[in-house]
Amino acid sequence: FYCVFHPGMRGTLTVIGGPVGEVPAPPSFDQALRIPKVLSGDHITIPMKKADVRIMADGPKTTMWTYGGSYPGPTIERRAGQQTKVTFVHKLPKDAGSMTVHHHGGHQSSADDGQPTKHLIEKGAKRTYTYALRDAGKPAPAAFNFYHDHRMHVTARNNWRGLQGMFLITDPKEKKLGLPTGKYDVPLHFSDRSFTASNQLSDPFGHAAHSGHGGMPGWMTGEHAPPNDATVGQRILVNGQYAPYLTVKPGLYRLRLLNASLFSAYDFALSDGSAFTQVGTGSGLLPAPVTRQDVLLGPAQRADVVVDFRGKAGQDVLLSTIPRSDSTGTGSRNAALMQFRVRGTTSQKARVPGKLRPLAPLKGVPGKVSKTWTFDLSEMHSGGQHGSFWSINGKMFKASRMDHKVRMNSVEKWKLRNTSDMTHYVHLHQEQWHTLSRDGDEPPPWEQGLEDTWRLDPGEEVVVAARFTDFPGVFMLHCHMLDHEDHGMMAQFEIVR
Ligand code: C2O
Ligand code: CU
């Protein structure tokens, strides 16, 4: 076990205010937590449609764009190695435009990956994505993934409106470990939104996205800075509900934590001071459990943790996000998110073994870095335009430009480097990666499993390696702070035979 007490708690507090709406008073936890419906057939159909969702305990429901009528959408739950088809049917209003759905953390063909500009789903039409849930001839590792919209320039808007759902890949071998299962295994989707007085979503995009001269967005003509924290919402939601409670037994609970926010980081902690035992990343089990007082997750990061409520019958325990400031300008939020009411008794027999799943060695890692990706804010001076945009290697995303080519079945070592003055959370599509080093050192124990999204503080450098298998084609990499992604901080690579 590795114990860390509040790593990175330094400097002064950063309080983040969303652009719209009032700061909420501390919540009273009036609604029971919903667990999204689980779909587990081999061909699943999910309509994309407008729906009224119960987010606040009181007052009107919130009209959203949803997968299947709920927010988050239904949880897709499948066994590793089981081919899965999911048909998404576009029944959203016309102004939603065309859609594309990405299985985040998945390993699938380029046409099934939810490309931002290709293979789009037009209004009234549908598209079937095929997920083999296999990797290099073997069942893909069990993972806690999610699916979400990925449409060019409007990914933030579409996710804000509600197009997100969880995707759980299970593995029967995991069962033997004795980790909590059934009702003791709870998926938790965290996000934040701002609301009007009548509980409707605020619109943080109107002013920012398309307001400049000559068809250029204002941030590209220098009229204002590129959108940054527009999508920081005032209220933090758990499984699409504001301040829910969950009644639990005094036993062990496996909590799958997904930060599905568009921009915010959450630093999870428990109000009674007890620790989390982290057993996995989003990409499956760690080699061994790690004890952590707090778990910091940025957008799209997931953690698989076990919480111990034994001996706490009668108590109410809060799951909160604690304020934290690094030198980044993003910090994390300060709020109580949900309440666990520990009641009753249980004869549950669950445990966290001292060893979970060894990380299979990655053979053939090259001595040299094959590609360096530098995340920065660039200035543009061309054609009478001046402005700034989020960039990778100094370039704004362009669908017609290939940024890197990779040979099928080769292993590459990539360096991810943040040369800007704020934190970014970088996501690489398609493969699951080994984290070789963080700032030249061994990565922390919770980064010693597979990973697909990394925190990069200003000046930080993370070196990762993976083998490219199965599917030739084009895949994305980008900052998962969706305002940054939508405004240039995305690149693409092609796997070639
Ligand atoms: Cu969560 Cu490119 O995606
Ligand atoms: Cu970013």
pLDDT in tens, 240-269: 999 999 999 999 999 999 999 999 999 999
Residue at a domain's end among 171, 204, 224: 171
Which atom of ligand 1 lies at the shortest distance from residue 476's CA?
A: 2
Q: What is the mean pLDDT of residues 3-32?
A: 50
Average pLDDT, the chain: 90
Is residue 102 in contact with ligand 1, taking CB distance under 6 Å?
yes
Structural domain span for residue 44: 33-171
* In a domain? residue 316: yes
Residue at a domain's end among 143, 171, 199: 171
Length of the chain: 497
How many Å apart are CA 220 and CA 229, to the nearest integer?
17
Look at residue 452 in the predicted model and tell me its pLDDT.
Answer: 98
Q: What's at 92, amino acid-wise?
A: L
* In a domain? residue 414: yes
Are 136 and 224 in a shared domain?
no
Look at residue 181 in the predicted model and tell me its pLDDT.
Answer: 96
Are 208 and 267 in a shared domain?
yes
The token duo for 245 is 């409670």
Are 164 and 193 in a shared domain?
no
* Cross-sheet strand order for the sheet of 38-39: 38-39, 73-79, 164-170, 143-149, 101-104
Pick from 6-20, 207-221, 328-342, 413-427 the range whose average pLDDT is largest.
413-427
Are 487 and 409 in a shared domain?
yes
Look at residue 209 in the predicted model and tell me its pLDDT.
Answer: 46
Are 111 and 218 in a shared domain?
no
pLDDT tens digits, 378-405: 887 666 556 788 999 999 999 999 999 9
In this structure, are residues 281 and 254 in contact, taking their beta carbons and an 8 Å threshold? no
Are 131 and 100 in a shared domain?
yes
Is residue 478 in contact with ligand 1, taking CB distance under 6 Å?
yes
Rounded distance from Cα 299 to ligand 2 centre (Å): 10
Are 166 and 188 in a shared domain?
no
Look at residue 219 in the predicted model and tell me its pLDDT.
Answer: 53
Is residue 300 in contact with ligand 1, taking CB distance under 6 Å?
yes
Rounded distance from Cα 37 to ligand 2 centre (Å): 32
Are 200 and 122 in a shared domain?
no
Look at residue 210 in the predicted model and tell me its pLDDT.
Answer: 45
Ligand number nearest CA of 454 is 2
pLDDT at 213 over 70: no
Is residue 427 in contact with ligand 1, taking CB distance under 6 Å?
yes
Is residue 92 in contact with ligand 1, taking CB distance under 6 Å?
no
Q: What sign for the dihedral angle of Cα 146, 150, 156, 160?
A: negative
How many Å apart are CA 489 and CA 392, to the nearest integer?
6
18 against 277, higher pLDDT: 277
* Residue having the nearest C-alpha atom to atom 1 of ligand 1: 104
Share of the chain above pLDDT 90, in %: 82
Are 203 and 145 in a shared domain?
no
pLDDT at 16 over 70: no
Rounded distance from Cα 101 to ligand 1 centre (Å): 9
In this structure, which residues have their CB less than 5 angstroms from ion ligand 2? 424, 479, 481, 484
* In a domain? residue 365: no
382 against 359, higher pLDDT: 359
Extended beta strands in 164-209, E state: 164-170, 185-193
166 against 232, higher pLDDT: 166
Choose the weakest-confidence range: 10-19, 139-148, 217-226, 450-459.
10-19
Going by pLDDT thresholds of 50, 70 and 90, the confidence category of residue 149 is very high
Rounded distance from Cα 150 to ligand 1 centre (Å): 7
How many Å apart are CA 146 and CA 22, to the nearest integer?
30
Q: What's the domain count of the chain?
A: 3
* In a domain? residue 384: yes
Is residue 434 in contact with ligand 1, taking CB distance under 6 Å?
no
Is residue 256 in contact with ligand 1, taking CB distance under 6 Å?
no
Are 256 and 332 in a shared domain?
yes
For the chain, what is the radius of gyration of the CA atoms? 21
Look at residue 133 in the predicted model and tell me its pLDDT.
Answer: 97
pLDDT tens digits, 289-345: 999 999 999 999 999 999 999 999 999 999 999 987 664 556 678 899 999 999 999
* In a domain? residue 12: no
Rounded distance from Cα 349 to ligand 2 centre (Å): 43
* Residue having the nearest C-alpha atom to atom 3 of ligand 1: 104
Q: Is 336 helix (H, G, I), strand (E, B) or coil?
A: strand
Which atom of ligand 1 lies at the shortest distance from residue 104's CA?
A: 1
Is residue 491 in contact with ligand 1, taking CB distance under 6 Å?
no
Q: Is 118 helix (H, G, I), strand (E, B) or coil?
A: coil
CB under 8 A, 24+ apart: contacts of 396-403: 396/487, 396/488, 397/478, 397/488, 397/489, 397/490, 397/491, 397/492, 399/116, 399/117, 399/118, 399/152, 399/492, 401/492, 402/474, 402/492, 402/493, 402/494, 403/491, 403/492, 403/493
* In a domain? residue 306: yes
Choose the weakest-confidence range: 132-136, 202-206, 207-211, 224-228.
207-211
Which atom of ligand 1 lies at the shortest distance from residue 485's CA?
A: 2
Look at residue 218 in the predicted model and tell me its pLDDT.
Answer: 54
**Complex ipTM over 0.95:** yes
Are 152 and 224 in a shared domain?
no
Going by pLDDT thresholds of 50, 70 and 90, the confidence category of residue 7 is very low
* In a domain? residue 117: yes
Q: At 287, which CATH number?
A: 2.60.40.420
* In a domain? residue 89: yes
Look at residue 355 in the predicted model and tell me its pLDDT.
Answer: 97
Are 317 and 414 in a shared domain?
no
283 against 378, higher pLDDT: 283
Residue at a domain's end among 303, 322, 342: 342
